[in-house]
Amino acid sequence: MNAPGAELEPLADDAWLVAFGESIDEATLERVHALAARLDRDRLPGVVDLVPAYASLGVFFDSAAVDADAVARWLRDHLHGGGPAPPPSGRVVDVPVSYGGRFGPDLADAAHELGLDSQTLAHRHASSLYTVAMIGFAPGFPYLSGLPSTLALPRLATPRTRIPAGSVAIGGRQTGIYPRESPGGWRIIGRTPLVLFDPCRERPALLAPGDRVRFRMIDADTFERLASRQGGGGG
């Protein structure tokens, strides 16, 4: 994979940043994930983590096991050759969501702002296939690309001090899921009973960069039934 325009920058004594510019678009995101997949496939001993973002990739290493120059050479080798990127994993995660009502307090206002009714907004939001662009803000919080441009909404002028765990929201041209109770300024349109982050699980975060997400509409009764199986999520 040749990577014109990619720049290698020091991020810390034990980290490099591969920057692909500043634009948020699907083509750049694909380049980031392709590089991450190739590096993971041919991981240099001493490299401990690869952290994709929308237009960059953080590469963290154990400086006691490998020096920064060796990591930089490894990165440049993969930026300027090495064959095609591995195919995507194909992992698609089904995320049940109850839209509106007490689970989505912003749905009606958001729909009105978009010139839609609430049911249409919910259906359109659930009809897209999303990609986990990155994990950030809080452990397990997925920033999802693929939101239809007609559903983009500005963030709230005044952020909420408490958003329940599992809240599904729109912020600008992105959608996401709050993994735990926290403040936030995105528009809350629904909630999932799934637990997005559990440090006791073998894989703490339910979603990882590159995963695909498909939302599935459920009613409030189904939400409560699924939440009881998860050990929480209602409210």
Query: The domain spanning residue 75 has which CATH number?
Result: 3.30.1360.40
What is the pTM for the complete model shown?
Answer: 0.80
Using CA of residue 99, residue 184, residue 165, residue 195, what is the dihedral sign? positive
Instruction: Please indicate, yes or no, whether residues 73 and 99 belong to a single structural domain of this protein.
Output: no
Range(s) of the domain holding residue 134: 92-230
Q: What is the pLDDT along the chain (235 residues), one digit of tens a residue?
A: 335 578 999 999 999 999 988 777 778 888 888 898 889 889 999 999 999 888 899 999 999 999 999 999 999 998 876 555 555 556 899 999 999 999 999 999 999 999 999 999 999 999 999 999 989 888 899 999 999 999 999 999 999 999 999 999 999 999 999 999 999 999 999 999 999 999 999 889 999 988 999 999 999 999 999 999 876 544 4
Neighbours of 54 (CB within 10 A): 19
Instruction: Please indicate, yes or no, whether residues 101 and 186 belong to a single structural domain of this protein.
Output: yes
Q: Is residue 86 part of a domain?
A: no
Q: Which of 79, 114, 134 is the last residue of a domain?
A: 79
Q: Which helix (H) or strand (E) holds 16?
A: strand 15-19
What pLDDT, on a 0 to 100 scale, did the predictor assign at position 136? 85
